[in-house]
Every structure is written in structure tokens, then in C-alpha cells.
Amino acid sequence: MTPWSRPPPEAMTQLTFTEEIVLLALDDKSGAQLQLPVTALGYGLAGAVLADLAVAGKIDTDPERVTVLDPSPTGDPLLDPWLALISAETTARSVAYWLSVLSDRRKEIEQPALDRLMARGILRREDKKILLVIGLRRYPTVDGHERTEVRTRVGQLILGEDLPDPRDAILISLLRGCRLTDHIFEGPEFAAREPRLATLAKMDLVGREVATATTEAIIALSAAMNASVPHM
């Protein structure tokens, strides 16, 4: 099977939150990463890892601490290194702490997820050379079914009145927390539903913490830039 051929149906399983965030952070046509605010994607991926571990029954989260419920491996190589890292910590740490730690290791989360999406036949890798050296790597979509399905499902929840199931509530909260909703749900119909989106995004603790961390990083960067500008 070539790296971008689609696996048989029996090999396909539901995407993890981590895979969904990575997939939706790519431009549909070019495969280039969307231009998100500084550190936003890192926090989004960190939050996705915590959400995946929580859904798997491995950790529990509250504002003050992340508690390990079961340190045994999940069997998922996207998640087990981070479960081991969290389990090895002897001091109780908050969600915000782990978002910071994991976001600093964003590439270690992102690349395995990209590799799996390629193995699933959803993406392919495309390297472009600049002056005979690989200077630009993109991941165009091979099969857009999963991306379309996620966008349609979440878009209907934003535009409708139904309450999301727990999994979709987490995903919506993560997407808004790292500002991806600004890119993938555009147009006046979605702009008019911003109050509902804000309400839905508050339904998950990890997503709220992602939003807080992203906002604080943007404010800090803005302050640093302003401080570097000479004052007359």
C-alpha cells in the first residue's frame, strides 16, 4: 500500500481529537498550515492530548489538577508518551501547567498525528524545493471525507439549537480555544451565531483553559512588541 492510498474500511477508526485538530489546521487546498495566533495551535494540540486521555479514562481534569486514573498504556502511540510523562510527575499539576508543558513539545505531538493521517490515506506529504533544498512541506488532502464530516457536524451544531454530545462539546471547545473556528467557520451565518458558539465552547474545562492560555500568549506577545518599539 502506498503512503497515500486509502486503507480498507476495516482499518479505519474514529479520529482522535489530536488528529482532528491537526487535520483542521491545514488549508483545504494547499495543505499549508493555517495562520493562527502565536502558540495557539500548540495549546490546541496540548488540549487535544489531554482530552483524548480523559476520554480514554486515563486522566481526570479539574481546574486545580490533572489526576491520573490509570497509568497503564492506551496502546495508542500518539497518546502513551504523554500519559507516561503525566504519570511520572509526583506533584499535582493543573491543566494550565500541562498545557504549557505539552505545547512546548508541539512538534512531537503534531508529526506523529500527520504520519497517521497519511497512513490512513487522508493526507499526503508534498515537499517543495527552494534553491535545490527542501524549504516547504505541505500536506494536501487525498480524501476529504473526514474533514468534511467533522466540519458539517460541528457547523450544524453551531447553526442549530441541538445540544452537542460530550465528544462534540469537547471538540468545539478546543477549536474555539485555539482560534480555529475563525478559519473553518466563516461567513455571516456563523458570525451571527457567535454567542451560541461562545456558549458551546464553555461546556468543556480543557477547551476553556486552551482559550485562556492562547489569549494570555497573544497579550504577552503584544506587550513585548510594544515594549520593543522606541518611544519618542
- The verdict on residue 7 lying in a domain is no
pTM: 0.87
CA atoms of 106 and 63, how far apart (whole Å): 22
Domain membership of residue 6 (yes or no) is: no
| Residue 28 falls inside a structural domain | yes
90-130: per-residue pLDDT in tens? 999 999 999 999 999 999 999 999 999 999 999 999 887 66
* pLDDT at res. 230: 59
User: What pLDDT does 217 receive?
Assistant: 86
CATH classification at residue 27: 1.10.3630.10
CB atoms within 10 A of CB 58: 22
User: Is 211 a domain residue?
Assistant: yes
Q: Is residue 159 one of the residues assigned to a domain? A: yes
Q: Are the CB atoms for 210 and 46 separated by under 8 Å?
A: yes
Q: Give the chain's domain count.
A: 1
Rounded distance between C-alpha atoms, residue 78 and residue 145, angstroms = 22
Residues of the chain with pLDDT under 50: 1-12
Kindly give the residue spans of alpha helices, DSSP state H, lying in the chain: 17-24, 40-55, 80-88, 95-103, 106-119, 145-159, 166-177, 181-184, 188-191, 194-201, 205-228
Q: What's at 46, amino acid-wise?
A: A
Would residue 10 count as lying in a domain? no
Q: Is residue 1 part of a domain?
A: no
pLDDT at position 63 = 75
Average pLDDT along the chain: 88
Residue 61 to residue 106: CA distance in whole angstroms = 20
Residue 84 belongs to domain spanning: 16-224
3 inside domain: no
The Cα 83–Cα 158 span in angstroms is: 32
